[in-house]
């Protein structure tokens, strides 16, 4: 059921005071998480939840074709994203208090958030150095931080709620769904699609790809991986570095950097590329975790790249998640250091697209666009990555 977004509601949404009232109501519900009440407010516009949360949920009426659950994920994703932007040391108290209030994972000590706001504030006493050293014996510092933090968050949300269009809301659907999956534990062993018969028998908990550019090509590509073995006896990982060529991809030499050794063997048929495997320190048992690091070096420095691509040839990658300071802690993250003398005109991230599609620049305002700024570009894939698909960052160079 759609809640109409009339002029009166638009004025109401623009008021930080009204948004703050909605946030306080949402944070103090003891018998269910935020997504439950947001969804119910959309499903039942005559309910108490709808009256309390109207300023948050009404703007999602532009998603008229989506289910109430996805619209609820959009609001929750917006809240979580704004909380995550509080990244400086001075904002740590406010950020952690807001995470507790709206049950944003992770809870201190990798536990689950408790039911009441007071009990969640008590959980924050486990944090070392955030609310004092030694940690406080009461929740008074948390309540003081909450009084300021909820007002700051309301002000940020009030601006966003009146300006988001349909594409913008769709971005926050992905954020909310991923955060909700982590909070519920559904991302553990996440499997959305079946892997192919020849897929490598690992599931990726975390994958960080760092590409260092030289002019318009990739000089170095460092990849950090944390995997879970999908069967007993997994002793290594086959690697090949794919970047955005203007022609067919070629094999790039690989160097083992940490917790692995490079093993090569000739291809099966004449003309096949050399097979490269990173051998682990020992065979893994099923469901055992393992972290290792490798680097690919590109000797073709005259080639002009169009993207940094990740080909998922295993059992998938967990939904992305970042720490409050913005550092990626789960899922796939691709980050690029561009040559300061050769910055691209524009960058964007892509997922599950053909080579033709990933070459097409999104329109202005599209959430896939990434700011180039001083030449450092990063994107974490919140939704997770499926087997047999490709994910990455594409870029367009400035005209000569």
How many Å apart are CA 166 and CA 177, to the nearest integer? 17
Same structural domain for residues 149 and 88? Answer: yes
Q: Are 62 and 165 in contact (CB under 8 A)?
A: yes
* Mean pLDDT value across the chain: 83
Residues 346-359: what's their mean pLDDT? 92
> What order do you get walking across the sheet with 344-351 strand by strand?
307-311, 390-397, 344-351, 369-370
| Percentage of residues in the chain having pLDDT higher than 90 | 49
Q: What domain range includes position 346?
A: 202-397
Same structural domain for residues 380 and 270? Answer: yes
Residues 54-75: what's their mean pLDDT? 92
Q: State the pLDDT at residue 184.
A: 53
Model's pTM, two decimal places?
0.54
16-56 tens-digit pLDDT:
999 999 999 999 998 888 999 999 999 999 999 999 999 99
How many Å apart are CA 275 and CA 116, to the nearest integer? 55
pLDDT band at 10 (very low <50, low <70, confident <90, very high): very low
- Say whether pLDDT at 363 is over 60: yes
| 3-class secondary structure, 39 | helix
Q: State the pLDDT at residue 148.
A: 92
Question: Domain with 279 in it: what CATH number?
Answer: 2.60.40
Same structural domain for residues 254 and 283? Answer: yes
Residue 42 inside a domain? The answer is yes
Which of 140-144, 158-162, 178-182, 196-200 comes out lowest in average pLDDT?
178-182
78-131 tens-digit pLDDT:
998 888 876 544 458 888 899 999 998 777 865 688 999 999 999 998 887 788
- Say whether pLDDT at 374 is over 50: yes
Residue 189 inside a domain? The answer is no
Same structural domain for residues 91 and 162? Answer: yes
How many Å apart are CA 274 and CA 260, to the nearest integer? 18
Residue 192 inside a domain? The answer is no
How many Å apart are CA 223 and CA 254, to the nearest integer? 10
- Say whether pLDDT at 244 is over 60: no
Residue 197 inside a domain? The answer is no
Same structural domain for residues 303 and 385? Answer: yes
Q: Are 352 and 317 in contact (CB under 8 A)?
A: no
pLDDT band at 324 (very low <50, low <70, confident <90, very high): low
Which of 125, 151, 184 marks a domain boundary?
184
pLDDT band at 266 (very low <50, low <70, confident <90, very high): low
- Say whether pLDDT at 249 is over 70: no
Same structural domain for residues 206 and 354? Answer: yes
Residue 236 inside a domain? The answer is yes
Domain count within the chain:
2
Residue of higher predicted confidence among 185 and 27: 27
Q: State the pLDDT at residue 42.
A: 95
pLDDT band at 257 (very low <50, low <70, confident <90, very high): very high
Residue 195 inside a domain? The answer is no
Same structural domain for residues 143 and 274? Answer: no
How many Å apart are CA 126 and CA 220, to the nearest integer? 40
Residue 246 inside a domain? The answer is yes
Same structural domain for residues 229 and 168? Answer: no
Same structural domain for residues 175 and 220? Answer: no
All residues at 6 or more sequence positions from 28 whose CB lies less than 8 Å from its CB, including other chains:
117
């Amino acid at each position: 059921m759609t809640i109409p977004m009339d002029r009166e509601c638009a004025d109401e949404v623009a008021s930080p005071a009204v948004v703050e009232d909605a946030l306080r109501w949402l944070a103090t519900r003891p018998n269910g998480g935020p997504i439950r009440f947001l969804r119910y407010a959309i499903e039942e516009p005559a309910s108490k939840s709808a009256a309390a949360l109207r300023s948050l949920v009404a703007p999602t009426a532009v998603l008229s074709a989506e289910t109430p659950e996805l619209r609820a994920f959009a609001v929750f994703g917006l809240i979580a994203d704004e909380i995550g932007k509080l990244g400086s040391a001075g904002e740590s108290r406010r950020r952690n208090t807001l995470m507790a209030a709206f049950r944003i994972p992770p809870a201190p000590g990798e536990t689950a958030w408790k039911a009441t706001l007071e009990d969640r504030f008590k959980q924050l006493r486990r944090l070392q150095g955030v609310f004092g050293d030694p940690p406080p014996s009461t929740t008074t510092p948390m309540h003081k931080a909450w009084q300021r933090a909820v007002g700051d968050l309301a002000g940020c949300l009030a601006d966003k709620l009146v300006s988001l269009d349909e594409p913008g809301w769709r971005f926050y659907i992905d954020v909310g769904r991923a955060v909700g999956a982590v909070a519920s534990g559904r991302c553990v062993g996440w499997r959305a699609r079946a892997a192919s018969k020849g897929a490598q028998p690992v599931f990726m908990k975390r994958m960080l790809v760092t590409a260092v550019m030289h002019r318009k090509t990739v000089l170095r590509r460092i990849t950090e991986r944390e995997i879970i073995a999908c069967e007993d006896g997994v002793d290594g990982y086959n690697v090949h570095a794919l970047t955005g060529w203007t022609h067919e991809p070629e094999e790039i030499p690989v160097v083992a950097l940490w917790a692995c050794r490079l093993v090569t063997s000739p291809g099966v048929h004449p003309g096949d590329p050399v097979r490269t495997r990173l051998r682990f320190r020992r065979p893994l048992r099923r469901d055992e975790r393992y972290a290792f690091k490798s680097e690919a070096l590109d000797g073709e420095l005259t080639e002009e790249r169009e993207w940094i691509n990740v080909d998922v040839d295993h059992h998938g990658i967990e939904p992305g998640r970042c720490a409050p300071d913005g550092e990626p802690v789960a899922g796939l993250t691709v980050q690029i250091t561009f040559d300061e003398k050769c910055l691209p005109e524009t960058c964007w991230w892509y997922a599950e697209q053909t080579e033709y599609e990933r070459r097409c620049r999104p329109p202005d305002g599209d959430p896939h666009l990434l700011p180039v700024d001083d030449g450092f570009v990063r994107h974490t894939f919140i939704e997770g990555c499926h087997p047999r698909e490709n994910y990455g960052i594409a870029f367009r160079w400035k005209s000569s």
